[in-house]
Structure 1
């Protein structure tokens, strides 16, 4: 079976495969769900460890953020996520998985300007794969 068929509509599977390929080649890779990353960032901020965590994330060659469209974030969480992704802009690779069109990102981020700035940063010099289609899980029920 061709590789593209194996991963058809499998955004998470494809991201994991790319992350593993990077690991096999000696790159450092960090994988989080968007909600998990915002929780970690919030906890680190509350425990006064945010600087250490953001430096650790910045050192990773690849940051994978999965399921961005599943949960909306409070303003402070959205700002922390923006900070991490913004700091990686043109410095480190990021994979973001979402089912939401860019025009609807202000539904996730409580601030329209913050969402627009984030979209601007992540779409600059990037490759966008539109993998939305029939659900693999529904098809194989």
Structure 2
């Protein structure tokens, strides 16, 4: 007959394997019956497994940093924009395989909000991939060089939410633009793509150069997409100004 530790190991129940001895003592001291004890053990095992899965998805997403929706300040935006952001927080757009375009000047919270949504999506068992737009083009080029472009594209097509950050800060040459166009167009109907950009649609040609390719890409990405205009005063600058004022006040004291 197997020991509890051996059975837990074979069944891949690490929490039970590592904690069963003190749990038996605790449950006995609390006077729990068998059903109550099993319920608590299995509930904790499920929670532990869910947390490990969440942490794994966060690692695989490769976020540039960890940001959370609870730390995102919506009050700086008008009510219409806040309503759009609240709708995105439901993550229904992922279920519907819809795209999201966050447009705004630097410091308005586009990246923070996109990462926060991505973290929440990981918590809800969605597969997420975060990548900076220029780095994505570099990865696409390397995949072509190594004859791995199809495999690379297929891997990203399986992702529930692809977040492409900072589109528009650097322009691409013709080959890079075409690769990115191919990737993003191919994801239509397969998963959601979220793009943060400092450029309104009429200026995307500055990034992609080719007007025909730019028009085709905008048509595909913006079709039934959630387009959120987050332009406004940089709250990073507000925070910096507030910090400087606080420092000055301390010096005066």
Instruction: Give the alignment's TM-score, normalised by structure 1.
Output: 0.94
Name the Cα RMSD after superposition: 1.8
Note the 1:60-75 alignment, pairs <5 A.
60-75=159-174
Alignment deviations for residues 46-89 of structure 1 (CA, whole Å, 9 cap, x no partner): 11111110000000000000000100001111111111110111
Structure 1: gaps of 5 or more residues: none
Larger radius of gyration: 2
Q: Which residue of 2 aligns with 1:89?
A: 188
Cα 1:2–1:30 shift into 2, 3 Å: closer
How many Å separate the matches in 1 of 2:126 and 2:110?
20
Instruction: Give the alignment's TM-score, normalised by structure 2.
Output: 0.53
How many Å separate the matches in 2 of 1:3 and 1:103?
28
Structure 2: gaps of 5 or more residues: 1-70, 78-106, 241-253
Q: Which residue of 2 aligns with 1:4?
A: 74
Q: Which 4+ residue blocks in structure 1 deviate beyond 3 angstroms?
A: 5-8
Q: Which residue of 1 aligns with 2:202?
A: 103
Secondary structure class of the residue paired with 2:130: strand
Q: Which structure ranks higher in relative contact order (CA pairs < 8 Å, sequence separation ≥ 6)?
A: 1
**Structure 1 range deviating more: 6-15 or 43-52:** 6-15
Higher helix share: 2
